[in-house]
Amino acid sequence: MALDKKSILVTTSIAPNYIDIQRSAIDTWIKAGFTVVSLNSSEEIDVIKPYFPDITFHTVWRTAKEKYGKPYVYIYDFMTYLKSSNSKVCGIINSDIHFKGLKKDFINFIHKETVDSLVYGHRVDVDHISSTDGIVSNGVDFFFFDQQLLSVYEDDGMCMGQPAWDWWMVCVPAAYHKRTKRVFSKIAYHQKHPQKWDQALNQHLIETVVMEKYLKRLYPGLSHYELNTRMWEIVISSTGLEYQSSSIEQISPSISGLQASGHGVQQADKAKQLLEERLNGLDVRMTERSIQHEGRINDLNVLVTEKFNLLDGRIKEMERLFQELAQQVTTTLGELTTQKDQTKASVWNRLLGNKVGKEKKSIDSAKEII
């Protein structure tokens, strides 16, 4: 696929449901100047393609259907496809993410920030996609990166549409001391919808892959609790990027209504700049406080889990010791029973021996008389 020097090739996996919301989401990507490719099974492509004639579809020959019941696409297959492209800057985005407030300079902004780096961001969950009033999610929904960064990712079984892959995407390059840059600006929006979330699977993948395989490489010797804390510090980073989007202009039309000449224009620009700074600062502080709160709750959950596992281990050890003691008691009782039986036999032998001896003497005496 031939791409312009300043283009960005983004990949996704469009689902065969919620078509309308995905269609409107991908329209925002195309408007931003992205080249879009969706990776799907051949069966899904037959259903989806008529609704998306303006993007490219790539057929994947393996899916996680046997594992999860649906043809989820492996993240490593995204990486393999992107490696085969000639796009210097690539991206992976969840298919129902709407970008808002992007200006013409966004592609240049991403090209600049992704040099040997991963740039990522969180979505804002809203009740309806027309709204901008929502809650920033801990989930990571868009990723942009230098193509050279693809080499650090391995085939760890992560799938788009399943838990943990988003935090894995951030932690893997961090484990290799690559730069990861979190976008603070609210530019990605997601309309809430019913979804099933397997918390047990999420915890399993986080612990066995993200922590055990990668974070221990970065922080050898740390406890499970400490690794969990460091993971939150990496993904929910307190440092990152600000993109000055045009969303302020859309939600504050009264500012642009100030006098359009001379001193009035200067006042409008200053007021607008001041409002942007205050709103951005407020958004960042509120987001950080919300995430810190969730991080503390998660840390507490991890600590409680560790204590529970420790207690469970002690209970199992006591059960093992009790079983050993019961076995020893059973063996001892058996030995005592055996000794008792042997003693009984010995006594009977002696009594019988004495009786036989007496009878013999009687016979001998009788013989002498005869």
Task: Please report, in tens digits, the pLDDT of each residue of the chain (370 residues total).
Answer: 545 557 899 999 999 999 999 999 999 999 999 999 999 999 999 999 999 999 999 999 999 999 999 999 999 999 999 999 989 999 999 999 999 999 999 999 999 999 999 999 999 999 999 999 999 999 999 999 999 999 999 999 999 999 999 999 999 999 999 999 999 999 999 999 887 778 999 999 999 999 999 999 999 999 999 999 999 999 999 999 999 876 533 323 332 332 333 333 344 454 445 555 555 555 555 555 555 556 666 666 666 666 667 777 778 777 788 788 878 878 877 777 777 677 666 766 676 666 545 655 665 665 565 5
Q: What is the model's pTM?
A: 0.68
Instruction: Copy the structure tokens of residue 314.
Output: 């002690």
Letter for the amino acid at 130? S
Burial of 77 (0-12, 13-18, 19+ CB in 10 A): buried
Structural domains of the chain, ranges and CATH numbers in brackets:
8-196 (3.90.550.10)
Does residue 175 contact residue 218 with C-beta atoms inside 8 Å? yes
Letter for the amino acid at 181? K
C-alpha–C-alpha distance, residues 169 and 167, integer Å: 5
Q: What are phi and psi of 188, to 5 degrees?
A: -120, 130
pLDDT digits (tens, 9 = 90+) for 179-206: 999 999 999 999 998 877 789 999 999 9
Does residue 37 contact residue 95 with C-beta atoms inside 8 Å? no
42's enclosing H/E stretch is: helix 42-48
DSSP state of 150: G
Residues in the chain: 370
Count of alpha carbons within 13 Å of 360, Cβ hemisphere only? Answer: 6
C-alpha–C-alpha distance, residues 186 and 242, integer Å: 9
Instruction: Copy the structure tokens of residue 286.
Output: 């509120």
C-alpha–C-alpha distance, residues 157 and 105, integer Å: 36
Quick one: pLDDT at residue 300? 66
Instruction: Copy the structure tokens of residue 77.
Output: 């297959």
Quick one: pLDDT at residue 342? 73
C-alpha–C-alpha distance, residues 221 and 78, integer Å: 33
From 104, 187, 183, 117, select the one nearest 145 (Cα to Cα): 117
* Largest Cα span, the chain: 161
